[in-house]
A and B are shown apart, each in its own frame.
Chain A
């Protein structure tokens, strides 16, 4: 591990009732890096994010964010350390408006008393409005999240991730249900964020992955099958056999 490594997974395994969802997985992500992860359904991509964010405890192995052992922390503690996540299945708060969803995600003290005393000051409002603009939901700000379309929920989730201002963003299938134009916008957005932040993106859409223009990790059956540029992995015979060739 170099001093620039921000996320460090070594020899991580997750076993569900005898089934190895992660099988001695090792993965290192550098500070400021943008990384794409591809792989067939059931490869363990989402499970890997579950392990990093504290949703699933690994059966074995090391999971570190900088020097902190993530396996000892709960979801809230991991999130406040600076790891944000966008879920594969977008989950936003239906009872709240788009604006309120973003306000809830905005980086700010999280304790009950702090929330009780919270006043939406100019700076915070400006950040929320900027994000609304970025995700194209300015006109929907006062609508309940319940009435958004699937694509708009995807964008709202991305917006909530941005509001948290995390150091490491885990983005699970962001462009599912998006138009080509929105897909391009998302790729540009993630490329822009990377550099100051580290971003790990899971996606099946290879056009999108190509547009990200970053190192690609191919996962299969719970471990890393191949790693390299998109062209390298696309020509790797093992990758062609298990993933691309079908």
Chain B
């Protein structure tokens, strides 16, 4: 994989920081503008709030992928699985909070369990009524899965396309598993009809705004973490691993350990993104595990420019903006457009959108 890091000279770095904070502020205004009366010229509709809130969580997922792929060369085509697991953990919490308000009115069991004849809550559902526990699980479960899969793969030195296939198979297998009713996760319907979160009724402007801001804070925090990694010596070890892994080993670095660290961190961020996504879209089902989702997320990063962090965020926003527009304007065209976009970026813009702004010549 060729080097694609973009190093900006000092002045543009400052400009970049200003642009970034400007963008964050602009985003932060969206829920406020939503509060203005509809007659106001500056009013922003509910749709914009919920759709941007969703994109923010996608941007976190893109950052996670960029850290693994752009910096370390681990092209995971299964990051959607970590995102979905984080989403399911949050979904379980939201299901527990429905309580007796379900269609069957059972005091504890979610509707689908009553329907399937469950007598009591499966053991792995215990504790999910408690928000901190559910939130921790949304990070812990993806991290644990990444730890196990990463350990097995990296220790056996599975890299490149084999690793991509492996991760793709992982998310596919999870999708099939979550489709099954006897898994206890609602089968193909997944979870929906959520009522509240942290005492706030969902589907109110307040809840929408709160979730939006929580996502924005999570995005800034994730960016900070990734940035912190990338500017440290660890970040340089990652680039070295990406470009010449075996040489790094001869310097005494356990590349298995380093890659595992990054892969787990990346999965945790993906889980965080998923946990913020689900209450905003109000549904989670096994479709979130579909291999296509993971590939799409990788394309966001490629379009934005990998190995730059900011490119990942930019890619997630721009590709999804295009998708939102196109799926209403010409729904049949979306997959062709996505494929075409990927080919075009690979051929003509190998450093992504970010490459347009930074003229520094790279090899």
A→B interface (CB under 8 Å): 53, 55, 74-77, 79-80, 85, 87, 91, 93-96, 100, 103-105, 110-113, 115-118, 144, 146-147, 160, 164
Contacts and interface: CB of A to CB of B under 8 A. Distances in A.
A112 B244 contact: no
Interface residues of B, number: 29
A81 B95 CA distance: 54
A76 B257 CA distance: 11
Contacts of A95: 3, 5, 239-240, 242-243
Contacts of B229: 116
A67 B248 CA distance: 25
A96 B239 contact: yes
Nearest to B155: A74
B246 interface: yes
Contact of A96 (B234, B240, B252, B261): B240
Interface string B253-274: 1110110011000000000000
Contacts of B246: 55, 75
Interface string B216-252: 0000000000001100111011011011101111111
B359 interface: no
Contact of B251 (A111, A113, A160): A160
Nearest to B232: A116
Given A112-B257, A112-B261, A164 B237 contact: no
B250 A75 contact: yes
Nearest to B3: A95
B255 A76 contact: yes
B257 A93 contact: no
A243 B144 CA distance: 57
A170 to B, nearest CB: 10
Contacts of A53: 250
Contacts of A91: 244, 247
Interface of B: 3, 5, 228-229, 232-234, 236-237, 239-240, 242-244, 246-255, 257-258, 261-262, 363
Q: Which 7 A-B pairs have the closest CB atoms?
A: A79-B252, A95-B3, A112-B261, A115-B234, A75-B249, A118-B233, A80-B252
Nearest to B264: A112
B251 A164 contact: yes
Contacts of A147: 363
Q: Helix, strand, loop or mixed for chain A's interface?
A: helix
A110 B253 contact: yes
Contacts of B236: 93, 96, 100, 103-104
Given A79-B252, A105-B251, A144-B363, A112 B233 contact: no
A118 B232 contact: yes
A197 B30 CA distance: 65
Given A87-B250, A104-B236, 16 more contacts: A75-B249, A80-B252, A85-B250, A91-B244, A93-B239, A95-B239, A104-B251, A110-B253, A111-B254, A112-B237, A113-B261, A116-B229, A116-B232, A144-B363, A160-B251, A164-B252
A146 B3 contact: yes
B254 A104 contact: no
A17 to B, nearest CB: 21
Contacts of B257: 111-112
A105 B244 CA distance: 14
B254 A146 contact: no
Nearest to B254: A76
Contacts of A77: 254
Contacts of B258: 112, 115
Contact of B247 (A93, A115, A144): A93
A245 to B, nearest CB: 36
Contacts of B243: 93-95
Contacts of B251: 79, 104-105, 160, 164
Contacts of A116: 228-229, 232-234
A235 to B, nearest CB: 37
A145 B253 CA distance: 20
Contact of B252 (A76, A100, A103, A144): A76
A94 B250 contact: no
A93 B232 contact: no
Contacts of B242: 95
A104 B252 contact: no
A74 B249 contact: yes
